[in-house]
Structure 1
């Protein structure tokens, strides 16, 4: 069992759901300044997805945990992140598969999925651990405040 305490994202919603998962994936950062990370190498990534909202769906869920896992784990586990060309690019530094960009892209995938649901919860935080000592937190609405629609 994975147990960890995460920094909290401030939000105005009544419900908060957190889904932990991990996936094994390789990547490289296509930049000379990335040093050793410019060569193909792998990680067991650990991700926590935080979703918040005020309304539950017809099943009494904010969102079904299994749907979040399918979006992330089933897509990225045992893959080369650079091969996901719809998400990552060797040409655009904003789409290199760095931990920062992977966290943002996970947030975008989750947000796009949630926008299609009836109750429209929000992805408020992604915690992505790349190694035991290195992680990134991405908060989609930190700069402009939470979108409470």
Structure 2
């Protein structure tokens, strides 16, 4: 993967971890407003996940990079996004995918003793289009 620089999330944490990963998935947006995207098609999605925190775990990690990859890649790679329960009553747009990835990661982080936070998720759908999702201040506990 080529090196990509993304917008940064402002924060006061001592540590910031960034993980780039990718997966291939298909989706369709069942709305006339979606134009050609109404028809099932696929993307190789490229993600950047930013985690922040002040405390490291016993191993010296905010979170192991491998865990982030397993959490997202196993869930979405080579799947149809419309078939996932989190998109049952929503269209699997890039915006909502970024939000769902954030929610999945944040749920895992909240269970960790060092309590890191997912500060942002960036989902690149094409070489020229990406979405940044950042939680509202109240969503970071």
Quickly name the TM-score band, shorter chain normalised. Answer: over 0.9
**How far, CA to CA, are the matches of 2:31 and 2:68 in structure 1?**
31
Structure 1 vs Structure 2 CA RMSD: 1.3
Out of 106, 117, 129, the residue aligned to residue 122 of structure 1 is 117
In 1, distance between residues paired with 2:4 and 2:35?
Answer: 30
Match of 2:91 among 76, 96, 114: 96
**Maintained 8 Å contact 1:52/1:122:** yes
Structure 1 gaps of 5+ residues are none
Q: How far apart are 1:113 and its partner, in Å? A: 0.6
Could you report, residue by residue, the CA deviation over 1:47-102 in whole angstroms, capped at 9, with x for unpaired residues? 00000000000110000000000111111011101111x2112xx3xx31000000
List 4+ stretches of structure 1 deviating above 4 A: none
TM-score by length of 2: 0.95
The gaps in structure 2 that reach 5 residues or longer are none
Number of paired residues?
Answer: 141
Alignment partner, residue 18 of structure 2: 18
